[in-house]
């Protein structure tokens, strides 16, 4: 029992060190290096989302919200007022912190269709029944 407890505590401490060492930098990176140079406007993705499914794109905006449960998603602003898009990572792959709200972000990944009826994880329960397009990131850079 002591060995299991020791392993759990060690894992928590190691995770904390990794998060704080990454967070202390001016640029916080998750995933692979961003390869794309040309940015796609979020408004264009929202206007014609099916056009972007299965294609790698680069989007950018300001972080407006972070998953309150486990940091598995962020909602970012569009280039047009009142438009937003969610960047949803697989749980455990990327952990977005509440302190990231208000920071600029770039993300590379693929747009996919998501029905909130199927989701039992970290997204808000009041979104059940809503269908949406999201970005599944392979790279995320947050300007600290």
pTM value surpassing 0.95 = no
Tell whether 18 is covered by a domain: no
- Per-residue burial over 70-87, b if 16 or more Cβ lie within 10 Å, else e, is ebbbbbbbbeeeebebbb
CA–CA distance, 18 with 31 (Å, rounded to integer): 14
Per-residue pLDDT tens over the stretch 14-26: 455 455 544 556 8
Per-residue confidence (pLDDT) for residue 126, from 0 to 100: 44
What is the residue range of 57's domain?
A: 28-143
Per-residue confidence (pLDDT) for residue 26, from 0 to 100: 87
How many domains is the chain partitioned into structurally?
A: 1
Determine whether 126 is exposed, middle or buried from the number of CB atoms within 10 Å of its CB (0-12, 13-18, 19+): exposed
CA–CA distance, 144 with 48 (Å, rounded to integer): 31
CATH number at residue 104: 2.40.50.140
- Give residue 54's Cα distance to chain centre: 18
Per-residue pLDDT tens over the stretch 28-81: 999 999 999 999 999 999 999 999 998 999 999 999 999 888 888 999 999 999
CA–CA distance, 134 with 85 (Å, rounded to integer): 6
Tell whether 6 is covered by a domain: no
Q: What are phi and psi of 103, to 5 degrees?
A: -90, 155
Tell whether 49 is covered by a domain: yes
CA–CA distance, 34 with 106 (Å, rounded to integer): 9
Per-residue confidence (pLDDT) for residue 68, from 0 to 100: 87
């Amino acid at each position: 029992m002591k060995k299991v407890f020791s392993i759990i505590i060690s894992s928590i401490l190691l995770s904390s060190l990794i998060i704080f060492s990454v967070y202390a930098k001016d640029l916080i990176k998750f995933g692979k290096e961003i390869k794309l140079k040309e940015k796609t406007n979020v408004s264009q993705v929202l206007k014609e989302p099916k056009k972007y499914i299965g294609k790698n794109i680069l989007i950018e905006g300001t972080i407006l919200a972070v998953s309150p449960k486990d940091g598995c998603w962020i909602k970012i602003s569009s280039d047009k007022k009142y438009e937003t898009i969610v960047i949803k990572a697989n749980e455990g792959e990327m952990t977005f912190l509440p302190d990231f709200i208000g920071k600029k972000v770039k993300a590379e990944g693929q747009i996919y269709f998501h029905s909130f009826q199927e989701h039992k994880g970290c997204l808000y329960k009041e979104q059940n029944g809503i269908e949406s397009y999201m970005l599944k990131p392979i790279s995320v850079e947050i300007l600290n």
